[in-house]
């Protein structure tokens, strides 16, 4: 019987594979005292990070490479001087209350919220991509500059998709749509994710489907409608989240595939159209078919925008799920944090700093390849008691 391992037959069980270790080779910032980290601002953390500064500057260079002048200017504006202007349609509080009630009536907002919650102040002068986190406090790239990291990575994925679809199928795909679209799509987050004094930030309000994932999607779609950008780039805003949403079930041995994503994108467009006070059919985003207003078949540019917006499951479902408990253990054992500290500003700031320097993914890969010892040693190179 062969026991060499080449044929996969016989012999001892191989056990867990020993992946390559790499943490010792990381070029990290000089070690800071915990008390210094706790007192740092989001901008100070971002500017101390090679990861954040590198991706922020990469976004600026990418913006300058966009051929479409309108997309190029908007992409640059979103990075350095963003503003969400569609609320100019509702200049006073009574206007916003009226529109809020209309959105509740249509099922786009939750009646338990209010107009100040779904539209916080500061929409015309928010933070920039340099400091904005990418998601909710416990989701993905949840640190100062996390938005720049998310978008820069997604754009790289879009470039790869565009190149491969072009070469494989000979389709004349325009890179401007997905590259600019992926960045522009996220920018309401600079307004919605406002930093708080305890190292956390405000989160998105409930909107379509009564969840907190999609507010930025319908807001940015409304924003571009309000500015009358072409329907191609507006569609990229609406299609980014759930174009490929699939509900699959079995009927005996047959797979029944219901592509609800097409309905959901149409739903997002309808919600945004109400906010922007436009007709989505006249705008060129939806079409009337068999008595219903539906989404037309979408070209590769829109599918690429959606596919490239999908790094979050790894960062959140893999990296965050394991790295926060791991970091809490280091905070308690090595940095002397109490249980109260772990629930408040000291740990929030530690988490913001470590993740902004390393990223959740890098810390996660250290954990799975090198164990808790590797995490402990790496965090110890960044922060000491």
**For 73-93, what is each residue's pLDDT tens digit?**
999 999 999 999 999 999 999
Same domain as 258, residue 114 = yes
pLDDT digits (tens, 9 = 90+) for 99-149: 999 999 999 999 999 999 999 999 999 999 999 999 999 899 999 999 999
54 is a domain residue: no
Same domain as 225, residue 104 = yes
Same domain as 354, residue 283 = no
Question: What is the pLDDT confidence band of residue 10, given thresholds at 50, 70 and 90?
Answer: confident
158 is a domain residue: no
CA distances from 237 to 84, 179, 190, 216, 307 (A): 14, 12, 16, 9, 13
What is the domain range of residue 301? Answer: 72-132+181-308
Same domain as 374, residue 285 = no
Query: Which of 308, 338, 364 is the last residue in one of the domains?
Result: 308
Same domain as 376, residue 258 = no
Of all helices (H) and strands (E), which one includes residue 191? helix 189-192
159 is a domain residue: no
313 is a domain residue: no
Same domain as 110, residue 80 = yes
Same domain as 299, residue 332 = no
8 is a domain residue: no
Same domain as 82, residue 229 = yes
Of all helices (H) and strands (E), which one includes residue 256? strand 254-258
82 is a domain residue: yes
Q: Compute how many other C-beta atoms are within 10 angstroms of the C-beta atom of residue 218.
A: 27
Same domain as 121, residue 224 = yes
Give how many domains the chain has, as a whole number. Answer: 2
Q: pTM of the entire structure?
A: 0.94
Contacts 24+ apart (CB under 8 A), 342-347: 344/198, 345/38, 345/197, 345/198, 345/199, 346/34, 346/38
Mean pLDDT of the chain: 95
Same domain as 331, residue 237 = no
CA distances from 67 to 160, 169, 234 (A): 18, 23, 17
278 pLDDT higher than 90: yes
Query: Which of 250, 281, 308 is the last residue in one of the domains?
Result: 308
Query: Which of 308, 332, 367 is the last residue in one of the domains?
Result: 308
For the chain, percent of residues with pLDDT exceeding 70: 98
256 is a domain residue: yes
26 is a domain residue: no
Same domain as 217, residue 128 = yes
pLDDT digits (tens, 9 = 90+) for 143-196: 999 999 999 999 999 999 999 999 999 999 999 999 999 999 999 999 999 999
């Amino acid at each position: 019987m062969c026991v060499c391992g080449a044929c996969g037959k016989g012999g001892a069980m191989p056990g867990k594979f020993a992946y390559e270790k790499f943490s010792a080779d990381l070029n990290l910032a000089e070690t800071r005292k915990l008390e210094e980290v706790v007192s740092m601002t989001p901008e100070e953390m971002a500017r101390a990070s090679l990861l954040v500064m590198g991706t922020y500057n990469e976004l600026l260079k990418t913006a300058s490479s966009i051929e479409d002048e309108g997309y190029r200017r908007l992409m640059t504006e979103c990075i350095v001087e963003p503003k969400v202007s569609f609320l100019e349609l509702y200049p006073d509080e009574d206007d916003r209350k009226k529109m809020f009630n209309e959105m509740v009536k249509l099922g786009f907002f939750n009646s338990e919220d209010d107009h100040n919650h779904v539209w916080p102040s500061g929409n015309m002068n928010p933070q920039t991509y340099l400091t904005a986190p990418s998601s909710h406090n416990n989701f993905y790239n949840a640190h100062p500059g996390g938005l720049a990291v998310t978008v820069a990575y997604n754009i790289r994925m879009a470039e790869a998709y565009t190149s491969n679809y072009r070469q494989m199928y000979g389709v004349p795909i325009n890179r401007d749509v997905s590259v600019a679209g992926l960045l522009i799509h996220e920018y309401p987050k600079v307004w919605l994710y406002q930093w708080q004094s305890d190292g956390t930030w405000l989160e998105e309000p409930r909107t379509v489907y009564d969840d907190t994932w999609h507010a930025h999607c319908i807001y940015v779609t409304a924003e571009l409608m309000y500015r009358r950008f072409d329907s191609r780039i507006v569609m990229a805003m609406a299609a980014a989240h759930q174009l490929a949403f699939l509900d699959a079930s079995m009927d005996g041995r047959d797979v029944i595939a219901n592509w609800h994503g097409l309905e959901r994108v149409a739903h997002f467009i309808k919600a945004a159209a109400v906010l922007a006070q436009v007709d989505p059919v006249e705008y060129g985003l939806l079409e009337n078919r068999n008595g219903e207003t539906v989404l037309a078949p979408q070209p590769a540019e829109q599918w690429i925008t959606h596919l490239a917006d999908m790094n979050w499951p790894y960062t959140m479902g893999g990296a965050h799920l394991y790295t926060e408990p791991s970091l809490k253990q280091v905070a308690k054992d090595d940095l002397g944090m109490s249980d109260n500290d772990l629930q408040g500003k000291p740990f929030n700031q530690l988490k913001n700093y470590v993740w902004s320097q390393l990223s959740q993914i890098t810390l996660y890969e250290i954990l799975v390849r090198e164990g808790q010892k590797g995490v402990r040693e790496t965090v110890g190179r960044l922060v000491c008691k």
